[in-house]
Amino acid sequence: MNSYVWRVIKSGVIILGLVLASITIRVNAQEPIRIGVLLPVTGPFAKSGIEALEAMQIAREMINERGGIKGRKIVYLQGDATNPNAAISETERLITKDGIKITTGSFASPIAIAVSQAAERYGVFHWETTGAAEIITRRGFKNTFQVGAPARKYSQAAVDFIIEDLSKRLNKPVKDLRIALLWENRAFGKSVGDGVRLYSEAKGIKLIYDEGYDQFATDMTPIVQKLKDVQPDVLIAVSFPNDAILFQRKAKEFNLNVAAFIGVSAGYSSPDLRASLGDMVNGIFVSDFPPKVNVNVLKPETRKVADEFYKRYEDKFKRPPAGHAAASFSAIWALFTEVFPKAKTFEPAELREIALKLDLPEGTLVNGSGIKFTNFDWPDEPKDAGQNLRAAIGIWQWTKIGNEQVFPPKLATREAAQVPLPVWSNR
């Protein structure tokens, strides 16, 4: 009898042990997937960095509400990448202290350059959402994937728009159009500026003005004066918000009129622009991530995700997301739904293999992008591993009430309007 009780106790203990073990294993299985999110939430880039973060937080909520990835929740560990130095130390902190193996972010090109460098050094998988400078994926890094468009796409969109659309609307052959280029002289602006120069040369267009400036400049008088001297028909300007506002005000003050104005990215796509400039923004074209594309281009299941994202974002922040916010959402959502489900170990090498095999047609991501990364076997650009060949970049236009995608025709929600741009006294 005693031995029977003993046996019952023993088997009970064993069963209990097994149950406990299985619970532990299940707990392990449900351990969250931790991602290091490197974005500037303080400092000069904070405005856009926070907007990108907000969009990525919505993506995390949405995926976790759907049960996470194979039962594992997504957790963000944040690093404040105020500037390149901070970006490096914050990335290293997340990697060495918290054992992060996947990083993402980081809004601005100089920060993306720094984050990806630190991640690469530790063999960490870096999923770059919006950083655009070409150099990000031209250093032979193995683990950096640039989901947003590389800078030359911003440039090409602007130049293609002039050739295929504006020149007809302005009734002038492209070779007779006077095209000027103004770029802020840090990583992003320079990269886009270089792209415009090279691409327009390739298309046989000669720029009548081509100059860089410091985005922290406090006086735009000399630049506006120079542009008045050369009288461009079309002006392409690569700017950040503060300098974009200063420039537009000075242009109005000096009555600098152009037939079409194409702003590139952050400065001209920032929602602040209307708050600061009011109706002065109407008619300005913007070459950037599309804030919202023609739904017809999206795959049916993407449309549902897009509806949910836009609704959540607008309900929460009482304004529509900017292009870089929509792009941040698109990129991180692709990581959650296209890369992670195929992963078993979540080790960088495995994630890299999955990423390089991705072949998603345009319209798979909420902002109209698809994903097809270049890899080391790519013949033309051997170092472009991880540039997304199907990132969507187009031209949209500020309108009286919001904005409309106008180019390329496939993504467009409306045709370009206000060409030529009314002179300042009529705007």
The Cβ of residue 20 has, within 10 Å, a number of other Cβ atoms equal to 10
Which region, judged by CB under 8 A, interacts with other proteins, from 20-28, 110-118, 197-205, 268-276? 268-276
Instruction: For residue 218, state whether it binds other proteins (rule: CB under 8 A).
Output: yes
Instruction: For residue 222, state whether it binds other proteins (rule: CB under 8 A).
Output: yes
Strands (E), 215-300: 234-238, 260-264, 285-288
Residue tagged 């079409």 (tokens): 260
Vertex 137: Cα angle to 265 and 91 (nearest 5):
85
User: What three-state secondary structure class fits 341?
Assistant: helix
* Contacting residue, 22, 225, 231, 296, with other proteins by CB under 8 A: 225
For residue 197, the minimal CB distance to other proteins (Å) is: 15
Instruction: For residue 85, state whether it binds other proteins (rule: CB under 8 A).
Output: no
Least Cα distance to 403 among 295, 293, 302, 304 occurs for: 293
Q: Would you say 197 or 249 has its CB closer to other proteins?
A: 249
Instruction: For residue 47, state whether it binds other proteins (rule: CB under 8 A).
Output: yes
* Contacting residue, 211, 308, 338, 350, with other proteins by CB under 8 A: 211
Q: Rule CB under 8 A: which of 50-79 touch other proteins? A: 50
- Residues, the chain: 427
Which region, judged by CB under 8 A, interacts with other proteins, from 20-28, 222-230, 231-239, 297-305? 222-230
Binding string, residues 156-195; x marks residues near other proteins by CB under 8 A: -----------------------------x----------
Instruction: For residue 24, state whether it binds other proteins (rule: CB under 8 A).
Output: no
- Contacts with 177 (C-beta within 8 Å, 6 or more apart), sequence order: 162, 166, 167, 170, 205, 233, 234
Q: At what angle do helices 46-65 and 300-317 cross, to 10 degrees?
A: 120
Per the CB < 8 A criterion, the answer to whether 393 and 403 are in contact is: no
* Contacting residue, 146, 242, 328, 337, with other proteins by CB under 8 A: 242
Per the CB < 8 A criterion, the answer to whether 395 and 407 are in contact is: yes
Q: Would you say 73 or 249 has its CB closer to other proteins?
A: 249
Instruction: For residue 44, state whether it binds other proteins (rule: CB under 8 A).
Output: yes
Cα 290 from Cα 324, distance rounded (Å): 8
Binding site for other proteins (CB under 8 A): 42-44, 46-47, 49-50, 185, 211-214, 216-219, 221-223, 225-226, 229, 241-242, 245-246, 249, 252-255, 270, 272, 275-278
